[in-house]
Amino acid sequence: MLNFSLLIQSFIYTIICYLFTFCLIFFFQEIIHYESYFKNILDFSDILKNKSISIVANMQEKDLALNFLANIRKLTYHDKLAFEYSGLIHLLAISGSQVSPITNFLVSEIKYILYLIRRKNSNPLKLMNSLYQINIILSIIISFTISSLFGWSGALIRVLSISYVSKINFSSYLFSIVFSIFPKILLPTFKNCILLIFFSFIFGNLLLNFSFILSLIGVLSLKLIGRINNIINCKIFFNHIISTILTSFFIGVILFPFSNCNIFSSCLSNLIATPLVCFIITPLTFLVLIFPEGNIFSSYLIYFYDISLGIFKNIALIFSDNNLLHINKSKESIFSLQGLFYLNSILILLISTNDIIKNNNIFQTRGKFISIKIP
């Protein structure tokens, strides 16, 4: 009972902390308008736009290709509806779900090379510590580079801030000061609040950015489902499959009040399309941008890229035909003021729940100390 009361108390304090942070961000938004200035300095997406237009010149899926190559939105109204009703609209660009695996893969390869070079002449403990620091720095550099080249969408900002910058220990020192004054604040909560304020100052109010909010909700949902799977102790292969299905279902339930797509059909379409986008379309996107045009290799890359985009579009069309039967015309759009308020409310609940789960061991330890009777 004591542990449960501590859990509820901490959950309430965490929600209050996020509510205060959200109010602070909205308040400063009215008096500070630096976001466009900073974003223009850090945005190098024009470098890719000219090449992207040249690449898609002879492709059948020109409009869809421009979404991935340069975040240029030129899809027809019919295609937009197809991706929306099939529940695949969140995959329509280079976003966090694609950048994170690529960043992690590149960093792991570089770390392994450095490990092979330094393992004989380094202390194991110091080597692991230095590799951890290198991991953080390289992750930030790579994700920052990708984000600046693809226009700093909300999903890319989420990857840089919540996934990588949050690993830096600068906030831990501040937390040690704040904790003495507000002992109920959790370290993950404090970090997230600092990051939300800092990146909102640079890129504008992230709480008004649907791409950022939806991306963060997706990641938090995936983490919750992943923790459930770990408790069940599924095999690794089935763990990934179950996580994908349950996350799609969970997000479908969250978005159902504002969504026109069928939840079960959306889960199935995501199960088919997500591996295609993450493991084929995304790597091909980077390859066609990196390699110079005009040679046989790049021509074949563009050809296979066009085919993969066509398959992705057909998946959306197939599942949208089924979903069209479930359209509710009376529903408000998720991209409305009501939808924004709803998403921010869900975000607070999800991020608070994740913070509490992270600190579950701390709660148990606190409960044991409190239960000790001093003679």
pLDDT digits over 36-74, tens only? 567 777 888 787 888 888 898 889 999 999 888 887 778
Q: Is residue 81 part of a domain?
A: yes
By the 8 A CB rule, do 286 and 103 touch? Answer: no
39 domain-assigned: yes
- Whether residue 13 lies inside any domain: the answer is yes
What pLDDT shows up at residue 2? Answer: 46
Q: Read out DSSP for 210-273?
A: HHHHHHHHHHHHHHHHHHHHHHHT--HHHHHHHHHHHHHHHHHHHHGGG--S-HHHHHHHHHHH
Residue 256 lies in a domain: yes
Task: Give the highest mean pLDDT range of 137-141, 149-153, 236-240, 326-330.
Answer: 137-141
Give residue 310's pLDDT band: very low, low, confident or very high (50, 70, 90).
very high
- State how far the Cα of 320 lies from the Cα of 314, in Å rounded to an integer: 10
Q: How many domains does the chain have?
A: 1
- The answer to whether residue 375 sits within a structural domain is no
- Domain assignment present for residue 328? The answer is yes
pLDDT at 266 over 60: yes
Q: What predicted TM-score, i.e. pTM, was given to this entire model?
A: 0.80
Dist CA 11 CA 186 (whole Å): 10
Q: What residues contact residue 326 under an 8 Å CB cut-off, 6+ apart?
A: 260, 261, 262
Per-residue pLDDT band for 163 (boundaries 50, 70, 90) equals confident
Containing domain of residue 14, as a range? 2-370
Distance CA(154)–CA(140), nearest Å, equals 16
Task: Give helix 282-290 / helix 96-118 axis angle, nearest 10°.
Answer: 70
Q: Please provide the DSSP assignment of 33-93 as one string.
A: --HHHHHHHH--THHHHHHHHHHGGG-S-HHHHHHHHH------HHHHHHHHHTT-GGGSS
Residue 293: its H or E element: none
Q: Residue 150 domain-assigned?
A: yes
